[in-house]
Amino acid sequence: MAGKAKLRYQVTNWREYNESLVRRGDVTLWFEASVIDAWEHDNATSKVGRPFTYSDVAVETLLTLRELFRLPYRQTEGLGRALAKLMEADVAIPDFTSLAKRATKLGVSLDVRQAQGPIDVVVDSTGLKVFGEGEWKVRQHGVGKRRTWRKLHLTVDPATQEIVAELLTENSGHDADQVKPLLNQVDRPVKKFYGDGAYDKWKVYDQLAEGAVTPIIPPQHNAKIKQHGNAAAEPLARDEAIRGMRRQGRAGWKREIGYHRRSLGETAMYRMKTCFGNVLKNRKLPTQKTEARIRSKILNKFTRLGLPKFGKGKGVRNRFLERPFLKNGS
């Protein structure tokens, strides 16, 4: 008996999406007037202690160029000098040691578009390598002793596919421990939480219940119902998921609940590694956190240039992009 044919989707806005990919390679660089005006730190002339010479805006601008072009610190300094000379801008460029030191405590905003009403979030994590051999070396000679990874946790808005929260931790931490810190970064009400089986922990359900967030998390295959239907208390979300799987099967429950939206988290991580690689250039965790934060901000700017819309024919709407935005959103 022949199996059911798999649906094939195609990009319906290929012209617009192709142009957005081309615009990602536009290397027309300049420092805006607002950046030049805010180049020096506010306390640059202070006599109390040793003041900062450069503002956070200046440091973030150069670090963004570093991540965008995958440059070392010294080459980043050289690129900044070249741009200042090309623009005839009377600004001093931070040296590479100043960039490395300021990156440890630099606060970077993800610059997320403001949307009306509550949002859904997709949470997932991936690994970024710090030390370790490449795949060829591992296949030829085995795994070396010096292999270090960091774990990058991303929270994605499925309606815009922008990263609304980000956190870089050591690889020893569990994904479930980072749910609350990630949700604290989201400055809008959260309606639904999409996560894989790694988030199937009671503490995650308790944290989501405190914020009236609906969890879309598949329970484990051997999960047991904690609170039976004859209880006076309100049914637990995890118990309802188990009952749904028993009625429809695991695949049927995922289709009904819309679990497929969680794949947008995987897409965001794939785009992150495609644009910036899977290796962190910095060696210390504080600077690595800033590095990952800036990468997420750049990826959000790339996302705004354009996204593909999939459908089985022309005129198919992207139902993930139908929520209205505020007038001041871009």
Q: Is residue 2 part of a domain?
A: no
Q: Could you tell me if 169 and 245 lie in one domain?
A: yes
Average pLDDT over residues 130-138: 80
Q: Is residue 49 part of a domain?
A: yes
Amino acid at 253: W
Q: Is residue 319 part of a domain?
A: no
User: Rounded to an integer, what distance in angstroms lies between the CA atom of residue 215 and that of residue 308?
Assistant: 27
Q: Could you tell me if 203 and 68 lie in one domain?
A: no
208 or 46, higher pLDDT = 208
Indicate whether 328 pLDDT > 50: no
pLDDT at 92: 87
Structure token digits, residue 256: 């009904």
Q: Is residue 17 part of a domain?
A: no
Average pLDDT over residues 181-188: 93
155 confidence band (pLDDT: 50, 70, 90): very high
Indicate whether 172 pLDDT > 90: no
Q: Could you tell me if 135 and 282 lie in one domain?
A: yes
Q: Is residue 113 part of a domain?
A: no
Q: Could you tell me if 62 and 204 lie in one domain?
A: no
Average pLDDT over residues 181-204: 94
pLDDT at 252: 93
Query: To 10 degrees, the CA torsion angle through 219, 221, 227, 230?
Result: 120
Indicate whether 187 pLDDT > 60: yes
Average pLDDT over residues 35-42: 79
Average pLDDT over residues 165-169: 95
Percent of the chain with pLDDT strictly greater than 70: 88
126 confidence band (pLDDT: 50, 70, 90): very high
User: Rounded to an integer, what distance in angstroms lies between the CA atom of residue 141 and that of residue 58?
Assistant: 44
Burial 221-252, CB ≥16 within 10 A → b, else e:
eeeeeeeeeeeeeeebbbbebbebbeeeeeee
Q: Could you tell me if 98 and 124 lie in one domain?
A: no
Q: Is residue 18 part of a domain?
A: no
- Mean pLDDT over the full length of the chain: 85
Closest listed residue to residue 59, CA positions, set 111, 108, 109, 110: 108
- State which residues form the domain around 83: 27-102
Q: Could you tell me if 133 and 224 lie in one domain?
A: yes
Q: Could you tell me if 58 and 132 lie in one domain?
A: no
Q: Per-residue pLDDT tens for 79-118?
A: 999 988 888 888 888 899 999 999 999 999 998 887 778 9
Indicate whether 199 pLDDT > 90: yes
- Domain final residue pick, 52, 75, 102: 102
pLDDT at 178: 95
Q: Are 22 and 320 in contact (CB under 8 A)?
A: no
Q: Is residue 4 part of a domain?
A: no
The model carries a pTM of 0.83
320 confidence band (pLDDT: 50, 70, 90): very low
pLDDT at 111: 85
Q: Is residue 141 part of a domain?
A: yes
Q: Could you tell me if 224 and 75 lie in one domain?
A: no
Indicate whether 188 pLDDT > 80: yes
Q: Could you tell me if 149 and 218 lie in one domain?
A: yes
Report the domain count for the chain.
Answer: 2
